[in-house]
Structure 1
Amino acid sequence: MELLTLIDLAGSVALLLWGVHMVQTGVQRACGARLNSLLARMLGNRFQAFLTGLGITAILQSSTATGLMITGLAARGQLDLAPALAVMLGANVGTTLIVQLLSFDVSSIAPAFVLTGVILFRRSQGAWRDSGRVFIGLGLILLSLRQFLMLLSPYTHKPELTAVLASMNSHDLAAILLGAAITWISHSSVATVMLVTTFATSGTIPLETALALVLGANIGTSINPVMEGSRTDPTARRISMGNLLVRCVGALVLVPALPFISALMARLEPDAARQVADFHTLFNVGLAVMMMPALTQYARLMLRLIPNPQESQQSSPGKPLYLDRLLLDKAPQLAIGSATREAMRLCDLLGAMLSAMKDGLRTTDPNKAGAARPLGNAMEDLGAAIRSYLAGLDPDTASQPEMERAEDILAFCTQMLHAEDIVERSIVPMVQKMARQRIVLPPDLLRPVLSMTQQLSHNLNICATVLLGRQTQENNPLSGQKDFFRDVEIEATAAYFERLRNQSTEPGSALEQGDAALVGETATYQLTLLRDLRRVNTHIVAAASYPLVTEDEQLFLGKEAPNAPAPSAGEPSSVAPSIKADTES
Structure 2
Amino acid sequence: MDYGFYDILQLLGSLGLFLFGMKVMSDALMSLAGDKMRKILATMTSNRVFGIFTGFFITSIIQSSSATTLMVVGFSNASLLTLTEAISVIMGANIGTTITAWLITILGFKVSMSTIALPLVGLGFALTFAKKQNLKNWGTFIIGFAVLFIGLQFLKDAVPDIRQNPEILEFLKRYTDLGFWSVLLFLFIGTLLTVIIQSSSATMALTLIMTAQGWIPFPLAAAMVLGENIGTTITANLAAIVANFHAKRTARAHLIFNIIGVIWVLVLFYPFLKIIEWLVSLTGAESPYASAAAIPVALSLFHTTFNITNTLILVWFIAPIAKVVEKLVPSKLEVKKEIDEPKYLNKEIIKYPETVIFSLLKESKYLYENAVFEIVTHALNIHREDIKSDLKPKEIIKKSQEDFGTDVRNLYYNKVKTIYGEIIRYATTAQSTLKMGKSQNDQITNIIIANRKMVEIIKAVLEISINVSNYQNSENKHMAKQYDKFRKKMAKVLQIIYLFRTKDGKEEHYAKLLKLRHAAKEGKYQTTRSINKLISENLITPEMASSLVNDKDNLNETIKNLISVAELLYGDKDSLLENGD
Which TM-score applies when normalising by structure 2? 0.66
The alignment status of 1:280 with 2:280, answered yes or no, reads no
Q: Deviations over 1:526-571 (max 9, x none)?
A: 7665554455456557768999999xx7859xx96425xxxxxxxx
Provide the secondary structure at the position in 1 that maps to 2:306: helix
- Report the CA distance between 1:15 and its aligned residue: 3.0
What are the residue-to-residue correspondences of 1:338-487 with 2, within 5 Å? 339-349=360-370, 350-359=372-381, 363-366=402-405, 373-377=413-417, 379-380=419-420, 383-384=423-424, 386-387=426-427, 390-391=430-431, 394-395=434-435, 398=436, 402=437, 404-422=438-456, 427-428=461-462, 431=465, 443-451=480-488, 453-454=490-491, 457=494, 480=518, 482-484=520-522, 486-487=524-525
Q: Indicate yes or no: 2:25 matched with 1:25.
A: no
1:343·1:386 contact (CA, 8 Å) conserved in 2? no
2:231 to 213, 220, 228: 220
For 1:245, the aligned partner's letter is I
Structure 2: how far apart are the matches of 1:542 and 1:88? 39
Task: Confirm whether residue 196 of structure 1 aligns to residue 207 of structure 2.
Answer: yes
Structure 1 pair 357–34 and aligned structure 2 pair: CA distance change class (3 A): closer
CA distance in 1, matches of 2:418, 2:37: 34
Moved more, 257-266 or 334-343: 257-266
Structure 2, unaligned runs of 5 or more: 278-287, 383-399
Tell me by how many angstroms 1:99 deviates: 0.7
Partner of 2:261: 250
Aligned residue type for 1:447: D
- Structure 1 residues 380, 142: CA separation in 2 closer, same or farther (over 3 Å shift)? same
Q: CA deviation at 1:279?
A: 3.6
1:397-437: CA deviation from partner (whole Å, max 9, x where unpaired): x4xxx2x33433343333333334345567459858997x9
Partner SS for 1:267: coil
CA shift in 2, pair 1:282/1:33, >3 Å:
closer
Between the aligned partners of 2:270 and 2:67, the Cα distance in structure 1 is 35
1:296-322, CA deviations, whole angstroms, 9 ceiling, x for partnerless residues?
433444455567777789987853548
Match of 2:91 in 1: 89
Tell me if structure 2 keeps the 8 A contact 1:226–1:241: yes
Q: Counterpart of 1:480 in 2: which secondary structure? A: helix
The answer to whether the 8 Å contact 2:460/2:558 transfers is no
Partner residue in 2 for 1:507 = none
Counterpart for residue 292 of structure 1:
315
Q: State the match for 2:63 in structure 1.
A: 61
Q: How does 1:91-170 map to 2 (within 5 A)?
A: 91-104=93-106, 105=108, 106=111, 107-108=113-114, 110=117, 130=134, 133=137, 137=141, 140-150=144-154, 153-154=157-158, 156=160
Does structure 2 conserve the Cα–Cα contact (< 8 Å) formed by 1:23 and 1:138? Answer: no
- Greater CA radius of gyration, 1 or 2? 2
Q: Which residue of 1 aligns with 2:580?
A: 562
| Matches of 2:130 and 2:315, distance apart in 1 | 46
Letter in 2 for 1:244: L
Amino acid of the residue matched to residue 249 of structure 1?
I
Aligned in 2, Cα 1:76/1:148: closer, same or farther, shift over 3 Å? closer
Under a length normalisation based on structure 1, what TM-score does the superposition of the two structures give?
0.66
Q: Which runs of 5+ in 1 are unaligned?
A: 505-518, 564-585
The CA deviation string for residues 453-510 of structure 1, in whole angstroms up to 9 with x for no partner, is 3366368679989xxx99999x9888635515535764786577568x4467xxxxxx
CA contact (8 A) 1:482 1:537 kept: yes
Comparing 192-201 with 90-99, which one deviates more in the overlay? 192-201
One-letter code aligned to 1:27: A
1:280 match: secondary structure: helix
The alpha-carbon distance between structure 1 residues 25 and 464, as it changes in their structure 2 partners (threshold 3 A), is farther
CA distance in 1, matches of 2:561, 2:330: 38
Q: Alpha-carbon deviation of 1:173?
A: 6.8
Assess if the C-alpha contact under 8 Å between 1:121 and 1:130 holds in 2.
no
Change (3 A) 1:383 1:55: closer
1:13–1:148 Cα contact (<8 Å) kept: no
Distance in 2 (alpha carbons) for counterparts of 1:554 and 1:119: 42
In structure 2, distance between residues paired with 1:470 and 1:20: 43
Cα deviation digits, residues 53-87 of structure 1 (max 9, x gap): 43443233234565688789999999875565334
Quick one: which amino acid aligns to residue 414 of structure 1?
A: I
The one-letter code matched in structure 2 to 1:20 is S
The Cα offsets for residues 138-171 of structure 1, whole Å up to 9 and x where unpaired, read as 5523422432550574355899x99999998768
Q: Quickly say closer, same or farther: Cα 1:144–1:77, change in 2 above 3 A.
A: closer
Root-mean-square deviation (Å): 5.8
Match of 1:569 in 2: none
**Taking structure 1 as reference, are residues 80 and 463 closer, same or farther at Cα in structure 2, changes over 3 Å only?**
closer
Q: 1:503/1:141 Cα in 2 relative to 1: closer, same or farther (>3 Å)?
A: closer
The residue identity in structure 2 corresponding to 1:294 is F
Cα offset for 1:362? Answer: 5.4
Letter in 1 for 2:255: L
How far off is 1:224 after superposition?
2.8
Question: 2:258 is aligned with what amino acid?
Answer: R
Distance 1:538 1:294, change over 3 A: closer
Counterpart-to-counterpart distance in 2, 1:87 and 1:450? 50
3-state secondary structure, aligned to 1:416: helix
Of all paired residues, the percent bearing the same amino acid is 16
Residues 494 and 447 from structure 1, CA distance in 2 versus in 1: closer, same or farther, beyond 3 angstroms?
A: farther
Tell me the matched-pair count. Answer: 523
